[in-house]
Amino acid sequence: MLILVTGGAGFIGSHLVNALTGAGHEVRVLDALLPVAHPTAPPVPEGVDFRHGDVRDAAAVREALRGVDAVCHQAAMVGLGKDFADAPAYVGCNDLGTAVLLAGMTEAGVRRLVLASSMVVYGEGRYACPAHGVVRPGPRRVADLDAGRFEPPCPECGEPLTPGLVTEDAPLDPRNVYAATKLAQEHLAAAWARATGGRAAVLRYHNVYGPGMPRDTFYAGVASLFRSALERGEAPQVFEDGGQRRDFVHAGDVAGANLAALDGLAGLPRGSVRAYNVGSGEPHTIGEMAAALAQAYGGRPPVVTGRYRLGDVRHITASSRRLCEELGWRPRVGFAEGMAGFATAALRAG
């Protein structure tokens, strides 16, 4: 098949392009090479048809879709950014870009889509109260965060909660601009599928890390920020108390999930969308990740700062059972192995 990968020059996109070519697919890349992600032009793998263009440009999208069998839509601004002033850029890149791409797919008759979404659409993860069962805590209060009370209490009785694994049928509750744009992308994909008879797989990535992450940028994941600090000879700065639970999944495994989703599209009913969590299945705290990375790098141990960012959630870890059972995907890179490799892996300029 000829696969169009939007954002194929980016961190995850480049891993996906290599996986697709390795699986025997023809690959075309459409990437705007925005300076925030690409201060220098990245190399183009041999045999890949690279198009320098923006998904918000209808003409560029139209040309990129010629002869395409399916689209893997990775192009997006990621992370929390610096502050709310980033909101127009996030909405433009993520939501307007997706709308223009889907309109182009409609015109070109392309009816297969794999959409890169994120675990941020859930807001807080799954929690259980001993007295009230599964509950949904609201956004954490500034007064509690200022006082170092980072764990969300039960909204019914105020008692401590036990975090668990979130599944794809959990309520969606985006709590920052980036999260809102990712959920909007999912809704746009669902509307496109219903209107055109298309099929879409939505992959809700958890905390992706691996070689080629951008360094020194607000728009990268926490693993990249810690790795960048170590490279500068500094201690990783861990927010809150370091006890935030996440699922760190290797970029190579995320690329494999995209391949599995492409293969699985044929099994979906026409006009439907299916969401899949993409996580390693190994929850770890951010403090544990920082310590593992610092030890593997041989750098300064992390410093727990007590600082916080509004919009961050406390715990969000994935159940990837649906992806494993329905599409036969399995994560191959474990936490210890992945962090050891990432500690010395090359980063791209950010």
Q: Work out the number of other CB atoms within 10 angstroms of the CB of residue 111.
A: 20
Q: Where are the beta strands (DSSP E) in 143-198?
A: 162-166
Of the candidates 69, 71, 68, 67, which has an alpha carbon nearest to the alpha carbon of residue 97?
A: 71
Nearest to 110 by CA among 49, 64, 60: 64
Cα separation values, 61 from 26, 54, 105, 197, Å: 18, 8, 9, 20
Strand partners, 200: 113, 273
Question: Residue 139: what are its φ and ψ, rounded to 5°?
Answer: -55, 140
Q: Which of 90, 127, 178, 297 is catalytic?
A: 178
Catalytic annotation present for 178: yes
Residue 333: C-alpha distances to residues 53, 254, 296 (Å): 33, 10, 16
C-alpha 322, offset from chain centre: 17
| 246 contacts: CB under 8 Å, gap ≥ 6 | 206, 207, 222, 283, 284, 285, 286, 289, 315, 316, 317
- State how far the alpha carbon of 305 is from the alpha carbons of 137, 165, 290, 295, 316, in Å: 24, 27, 13, 19, 21
**Cβ atoms of residues 53 and 64 within 8 Å:** yes
> Which phi-psi region, left, alpha or beta, contains residue 240 (left: φ > 0; alpha: ψ -120 to 50)?
left
Q: Could you tell me if 4 and 65 are in contact, meaning their C-beta atoms sit under 8 angstroms apart?
A: yes
Q: Are 124 and 152 in contact (CB under 8 A)?
A: yes
Catalytic residue numbers, as ranges: 178
